[in-house]
Chains A and B, each alone.
Chain A
């Protein structure tokens, strides 16, 4: 069965860095586009990064562009999110999610990893 398991969250000071990982299993990882999506405590969902199956196409929203970097290692079935210059408002649960084939929806999600940015 499809599994996505995030790791790497924790407490970091404003201006600091953190790298999240997502281990994928149960499907051919190299066939799928992937994303990171976050949810601040008690708030809604916000998309933060997107990468094509080969890694050649990457998108970010303005809120994180220039600070966050998405990458993947298809040989290791892993997705990553490097987060630099972190701000208090980046505090959230970060989910990795698999994009469906043609409909640009997210059909499988991990359980999430909590990132807290606080001094």
Chain B
């Protein structure tokens, strides 16, 4: 199983600041198969980024993804009030999907 580790566990920032979230895999991940999701309390996850760097439909351009191999990054260029949430990375490989444990972005 390809285990995903996310850091930090919690990121405390102010609106307008830049957020950098890390996702590290125990085995190499195809860049086509790395995604990021946002989840708010009581809601289902929402797809933000797929294929490492492609934004899903309706996702603002302040969200960007990058990386390759085992190290991937989600960047939020300037936090809006609605961006405070939990973020998960997810990979596919060897007929299996795994999610990272999540990074909570909260208001400082």
Contact between A104 and B47, CB atoms less than 8 A apart: no
A95 to chain B, nearest CB (A): 6
Partner of B99, one of A44, A100, A102, A109: A44
Partner of B96, one of A44, A59, A100: A59
Contact between B50 and A44, CB atoms less than 8 A apart: no
A68 within 8 A of B: no
What chain B residues lie within 8 Å of A105 (beta carbons)? 33, 35, 47, 50-51, 56, 90, 92
What chain A residues lie within 8 Å of B56 (beta carbons)? 105, 107
Contact between A45 and B88, CB atoms less than 8 A apart: yes
Give B88's nearest chain A residue, CB to CB: A45
Q: How far is the CA of A47 from the CA of B95 in the complex (A)?
A: 11
A61 and B44 in contact, given A100-B50, A103-B33, A105-B50 (Cβ under 8 angstroms): no
Contact between A102 and B47, CB atoms less than 8 A apart: no
Contact between B44 and A109, CB atoms less than 8 A apart: yes
Sort chain A's interface into a size bin.
20 to 34
Sort chain B's interface into a size bin.
20 to 34
Contact between B44 and A45, CB atoms less than 8 A apart: no
Q: How far is the CA of A53 from the CA of B99 in the complex (A)?
A: 23
What chain B residues lie within 8 Å of A110 (beta carbons)? 44
Partner of B51, one of A47, A59, A103: A103
Contact with A along B45-80 (1 / 0, CB 8 A): 111001100101100000000000000000000000
Question: Would you mind naming 24 contact pairs between A and B with Cβ atoms under 8 Å apart?
Answer: A45-B37, A45-B90, A45-B99, A47-B96, A47-B98, A50-B97, A59-B95, A59-B96, A61-B1, A95-B44, A100-B47, A103-B32, A104-B33, A104-B35, A104-B92, A105-B35, A105-B47, A105-B92, A106-B45, A106-B47, A106-B90, A107-B50, A109-B46, A112-B44
* A interface list, Cβ under 8 A from B: 35, 44-47, 50, 59, 61, 95, 100, 102-107, 109-112
